[in-house]
A and B are shown apart, each in its own frame.
Chain A
Amino acid sequence: MSTSSAAPRGPFRLRASLADRIGEPSLRTLTAVSALGVVLLILWIAETVVNQSSTAVSQLGIGFLGHQVWDPNHNIFGALDFILGTLVSSFIALLIATPTAIAISIYLTELAPRAIRRPVAILVELLAAIPSVILGLWGLLVLGPFLTNHLEPFLKSFLAWTGIFNGTPSPVGMLNAALILTIMALPIVTAITREVFETTPRDLKEAAYAMGATRTEMIRMVVLPLARPGLVGAVILGVGRAIGEAIAVTQVIGNASQFQASLFAPSGTLAAQIASEFQGANPGLWQSSLMYLALILLVISLVVNILGRLMVRRTAVH
């Protein structure tokens, strides 16, 4: 489709020639430049982040990743606690969102009455459009008090021994952030999961039923195995969304620079730390270390997003 057509000679040629001689190369060039621009923009972003983090990278090296303390006053910088905060908050979010998304998708593709399938699917996708700052507001003013007064004391009453549901119930903290990220990731994961489930070939389903399988057995033996790569991709894309979220997390996580085992405790993430400290960081090692955090965040998100896309595409192909 890319080869330009062998233009038919004849009466059309003369009439269009001047406009064509300008139009054809200009549109081609214009579009090619725009496309190239996208690639250059990515390189420019990467270059800027790498460049501005170079002071910290050269002074702190790779040890930055494994170092815990973040103490600008004594020029001590380590990323470990923010990396942990990022990973744990996203992990919990997807731990809750994934089974829920699968359940919603099963409901929407197999169980729900035809008439409500599309409306509910659209509704869920619309919810992906809620701006994160509004989710943060809700997390801060509605979810926070509920956590402190009800959910956290309840969890603590019988799960305190685990160590992760222990400590003082607090309106802001890791649990609140993880739940907000769950709400954020759920529509995205659901949308992809549902699409993947819909691609299950009908004859395979019918074959399973013909063998006497119940619906649950059919789902377990046909839908889920076929959907596995797409499911993994959906989860990874959900992780991508959760890892990069700065605003909603900074509103509800409590912004501590230590990671703690208790989910009630305030914590921090890479993105939230950049959002809350960047504007006030002195140029030099401090600002450069924040850029180093941005670099880590950029690398993690790119890896996660690329992986996710590849997985989703693999299912789509099949």
Chain B
Amino acid sequence: MALENPSPLGLLAPVPGSARRRAVNRAVEIACTLAAVLAVAVLLLVVISVFIKGAPAISWKFLTSNPQTSTLNFGVNSGGIANSIVGSAILIGLASAMAVPVGILVAIYTSEFAGPRSSSGIRFALDVLNGVPTIVTGVFVYGVLVVGAHQSGWAGAIALAIVELPIVARSSQEVLVLVPRTLHEAGLALGLKRWRVVVSIVLPTALGGLITGAVLGVARVAGETAPLIFTSSIFSNLGLTTNPAQAMPNIPVTLFSLSESASPQDHAQAWASALVLIAFVLILSILARAFHARSMAKLSH
């Protein structure tokens, strides 16, 4: 951006270098376009290479069978990641069962009950919680729940829930604020107490947006590894683990250990696991977006 005219006043006079200015403008435009195209291309490259490298190893067997004895690190690899898929599903389910209701309750508090000061205080607290590095969350849950006990699905799910909570709460807040005041007032005018207005008018109206928030939260924690490496990483690879009292196999941790291996078979499995994970996350994100667009249309209408 090497422009000769620093002050807007200078522009008023017919500038001698006007052809030059146009050239500079053109150059900047081209540079911006190129940068945009290049950056988007690099980002897409990551996704595309996961698809290309992961697809060959994806099979029905990969998705539905457990690892063979020596899947991790050793020998020829003929097993799959069924136990990690099941474990991840349970961990995410438990985490969401904790984070989603609590997140929505927090959002209701700020939008319905709290005064403006405590409301912005809570919003600030949620931003702070969202800013806690996930590895610190992992260390925290390890210190509180794992030391003196075992690693467990519960510990992992709670760590994930701590990551998920602020995401759900913040996006629910944004939706609840959009519920038209007139609806509130109509309810109150009918003699309904605030809680009834919330339960029977506000929440149903905002439902689409609340679901969006929940889905975004799920998409975010589905790929989280750091909260799990100290809470649910010592797991059995022999069969399915469905009891959250034990550490549960999960895709992120499995992917993490496979990625560091020296064996090409493990790398093939890592790419395939990455494909499963990325497909899940992207589909959820797209769904959330679709929901979001719909509920926004409904709310503004």
Answer yes or no: A and B touching, Cβ < 8 Å.
yes
Known contacts A103-B36, A212-B11, A251-B260, A137 near B230 by CB under 8 Å:
no
Contacts of A298 in B (CB 8 A): 132-133, 136
Q: How far is the CA of A103 from the CA of B222 in the complex (A)?
A: 31
Contact B132 A45 (CB under 8 A): yes
Contact B32 A106 (CB under 8 A): yes
B131 within 8 A of A: yes
A285 within 8 A of B: no
Q: Which of B109, B139, B278, B286 contacts A294 (CB 8 A)?
A: B139
Q: Which of B22, B35, B135, B143 contacts A244 (CB 8 A)?
A: B135
Known contacts A104-B36, A275-B229, A305-B127, A297 near B133 by CB under 8 Å:
yes
Interface residues of B, CB < 8 Å — how many? 100
Contacts of A65 in B (CB 8 A): none
Contact A100 B259 (CB under 8 A): no
What 1/0 mask marks residues of chain A from 24 to 37 whose CB sits below 8 Å from any chain B CB? 10111011101101
The closest CB in chain B to the CB of A283 belongs to B147
Contact A48 B133 (CB under 8 A): no
Known contacts A38-B125, A251-B256, A246 near B226 by CB under 8 Å:
yes
Contact A131 B136 (CB under 8 A): no
Known contacts A131-B224, A187-B43, A246-B133, A23 near B195 by CB under 8 Å:
yes
Q: How far is the CA of A216 from the CA of B137 in the complex (A)?
A: 45
Contact B46 A103 (CB under 8 A): no
Contact B136 A142 (CB under 8 A): no
Contacts of A135 in B (CB 8 A): 46
Q: How far is the CA of A219 from the CA of B274 in the complex (A)?
A: 40
B149 within 8 A of A: no
What 1/0 mask marks residues of chain A from 218 to 239 whose CB sits below 8 Å from any chain B CB? 0111000000000000000000
What 1/0 mask marks residues of chain B from 13 to 54 whose CB sits below 8 Å from any chain A CB? 000000001101100110111011001101110110110010
Contact A13 B32 (CB under 8 A): no
The closest CB in chain B to the CB of A143 belongs to B46
A213 within 8 A of B: yes
Which of A69-77, A119-127, A159-167, A259-267 contacts the other chain? A119-127
Contact A306 B128 (CB under 8 A): yes
B84 within 8 A of A: no
Contacts of A221 in B (CB 8 A): 8
The closest CB in chain A to the CB of B191 belongs to A12
A5 CB → nearest B CB, Å = 4
Contacts of A10 in B (CB 8 A): 191
Q: How far is the CA of A221 from the CA of B25 in the complex (A)?
A: 13
Number of A-B contacts (CB under 8 A): 293
Contact A297 B3 (CB under 8 A): no
A93 within 8 A of B: no
**Residue of A100, A134, A186, A208 with most chain B CB atoms under a 10 A cut-off:** A134
Contacts of B286 in A (CB 8 A): 126
Contacts of B131 in A (CB 8 A): 240, 244, 301-302, 304-306
Q: How far is the CA of A31 from the CA of B91 in the complex (A)?
A: 25
The closest CB in chain A to the CB of B260 belongs to A251
Contact A130 B47 (CB under 8 A): yes
**Residue of A41, A137, A190 with most chain B CB atoms under a 10 A cut-off:** A137
A247 within 8 A of B: yes
Contacts of B194 in A (CB 8 A): 4-5, 24, 27-28
A316 CB → nearest B CB, Å = 12
A204 CB → nearest B CB, Å = 11
Contact B133 A134 (CB under 8 A): no
Known contacts A16-B191, A24-B193, A275-B135, A217 near B226 by CB under 8 Å:
no
Contact A216 B128 (CB under 8 A): no
Contact B133 A271 (CB under 8 A): yes
Contacts of B142 in A (CB 8 A): 278
**Residue of B109, B189, B198, B267 with most chain A CB atoms under a 10 A cut-off:** B109
Q: How far is the CA of A216 from the CA of B29 in the complex (A)?
A: 7
Q: Which of B140, B190, B220 contacts A12 (CB 8 A)?
A: B190
Contact B281 A131 (CB under 8 A): yes
Contacts of A122 in B (CB 8 A): 289
Contacts of A4 in B (CB 8 A): 193-194
The closest CB in chain A to the CB of B169 belongs to A38
A151 within 8 A of B: no
The closest CB in chain A to the CB of B142 belongs to A278
B1 within 8 A of A: yes
What 1/0 mask marks residues of chain A from 276 to 318 whose CB sits below 8 Å from any chain B CB? 0011000000000001001001100110111001000000000
Contact B49 A138 (CB under 8 A): yes
Known contacts A13-B191, A136-B259, A138-B49, A215 near B29 by CB under 8 Å:
yes
Contact A220 B140 (CB under 8 A): no
Contact A42 B35 (CB under 8 A): no
Contacts of B140 in A (CB 8 A): 44-45, 48-49
Contact B122 A126 (CB under 8 A): no
Known contacts A2-B113, A42-B125, A251-B260, A131 near B3 by CB under 8 Å:
no
B204 within 8 A of A: no
A35-B114, A183-B42, A215-B29 known, 11 other contacts, Cβ within 8 Å: A24-B194, A28-B113, A28-B195, A35-B122, A41-B162, A45-B137, A45-B162, A111-B29, A127-B43, A130-B223, A216-B28
8 tightest Cβ-Cβ pairs between the two chains A and B = A131-B223, A244-B133, A305-B131, A12-B191, A103-B35, A31-B109, A214-B25, A246-B135
